[in-house]
Amino acid sequence: MATCSRIPWNDYDELDPDDGDSRIVAEALNVRNVASRHRILISHDIKPLAYARGRDLPVHQASDAWLRGPEPSPKDKEIHRLKQQVAEYRKDEPTFEISIEVSDVTPPIIYQVTTLDTEQADALTELIRNQNPKKLNGNKDRYGDSLGFVSNHDSSYDGKYSAFINREVPSFVAKFSEKLELLFNQRLLRVRVTNAGDIRADNLVVSIKTSDGWINRRVVFLSPRGPAAPVPRPGYLSSLDIHRHLKDMIPSRVGRHEFETTLHARRSGETKAICEDFHSGQTYYFEGVIAATSSDRPLEIIVTLTAKNLRGEHTKTFKLDKEIVVIEPGELVDLQTLELKQNYPTSEELARLLRAQEYDEIEWDEKNEN
């Protein structure tokens, strides 16, 4: 290490002995046993470099990378420590990827359909009644039933048709605006959860919630033409109904890698499913519909995951700021013919299900009310 001679401050008018930068330059100029050509002043600051150049002392300006980073505050140190601790905890936890997709949200139009006036409601009621005249009801045999002969007469048809005309049609017309909102405000919803790590999730619970409206597993369809009118049905056909849903009465066994729905999506605000062993690379899908209301609240879909070997919970949120459009019923449906004037968001999916004859994947709105 070189030593410095006594500094003749009177020879350096521009240097101040009380200034640190000045002292550094002065010492470099008066260093002992070092040739002038071997002296060089290295600094990041402009001031000492300028002093040195003024005295023909070689200089080198250090880059920004030479500077040490600022000393972290006690709070920053604690945050860093906690992050390291969380990372250490998560080494033995499963890792998830969540995807939430909602169709037809560009633009995110939600209709607020105005109610029919009295004249429109009366005309619609009369139109639906005229489009659904009473059917012929076979031959009524006064003695056939008692003698054991098969009759093609439906003895309950008159009562069913009367209820259709006097109760079901007026009820449909009274809720016509709500029905159109249901049809046009549905969107297809697809949620995908994947175990993206190497550790399985034990007793995984998947919760899907909505802050507005409801979630349904199946596409809900209703006809603007109103509820379907009853048709005469001979009594011997009713015995066939018992065999249609026998499969639904026998619960299927759920394997440890399979999902079991514990809270069904039936026009509800939440659905849940559980899996005992959600292994690495496995994916869970929920495919259904979500129907937002015409309120001012934004639509939020929250997917929450919990597991036995997961500390806390893993969540993802899909948020949609709705664009509310007030519209007359006649802008969506021709009130003279009851033909739709616009396509609704789930029309393509409904057409696909009908072509594939997947009728169980469609929820008929009128059956939901009966």
Residue 181: CATH number of its domain: 2.60.40.1510
pLDDT in tens, 318-368: 999 999 999 999 999 999 999 999 999 999 999 999 999 999 999 998 665
Could you tell me the two tokens for 275? 């899996």
Same domain? For 204 and 353 the reply is yes
Residue 86 placed within a domain? no
In the predicted model, is pLDDT for residue 145 greater than 50? no
The DSSP 8-state label assigned to residue 321 in this structure reads -
Indicate the average pLDDT of the chain: 87
Same domain? For 62 and 103 the reply is no
Confidence of residue 233 (pLDDT cuts 50, 70, 90): confident
Q: Which one-letter amino acid corresponds to residue 353? A: L
Confidence of residue 87 (pLDDT cuts 50, 70, 90): low
Mean pLDDT of 125-147: 77
Same domain? For 325 and 271 the reply is yes
Residue 161 placed within a domain? no
Mean pLDDT of 256-278: 96
Same domain? For 194 and 294 the reply is yes
This prediction's pTM:
0.70
Same domain? For 111 and 56 the reply is no
Q: 184 CB contacts (<8 Å, ≥6 apart)?
A: 111, 113, 332, 342, 344, 345
Rg of the chain's alpha carbons, rounded to an integer? 39
Same domain? For 114 and 13 the reply is no
Residue 141 placed within a domain? no
Nearest to 267 by CA among 350, 175, 363: 363
Same domain? For 340 and 199 the reply is yes
β-pairing, 201-210 with 259-263? unpaired
pLDDT in tens, 88-111: 666 689 999 999 999 998 888 999
- What is d(CA 26, CA 234) in angstroms, rounded to the nearest whole number? 116
Same domain? For 102 and 220 the reply is yes
Same domain? For 44 and 182 the reply is no
pLDDT at 250: 56
CB 131 within 8 A of CB 167: no
- What is d(CA 191, CA 204) in angstroms, rounded to the nearest whole number? 15
CB 136 within 8 A of CB 234: no
In the predicted model, is pLDDT for residue 71 greater than 60? yes
Handedness of CA 239, 240, 244, 250 (dihedral sign): positive
Mean pLDDT of 128-135: 94
- What is d(CA 303, CA 307) in angstroms, rounded to the nearest whole number? 14
Structural domains in the chain (count): 2
Confidence of residue 369 (pLDDT cuts 50, 70, 90): low
The residue range of the domain holding 42 is: 9-66
- What is d(CA 215, CA 288) in angstroms, rounded to the nearest whole number? 7
Same domain? For 287 and 322 the reply is yes
The DSSP 8-state label assigned to residue 260 in this structure reads E
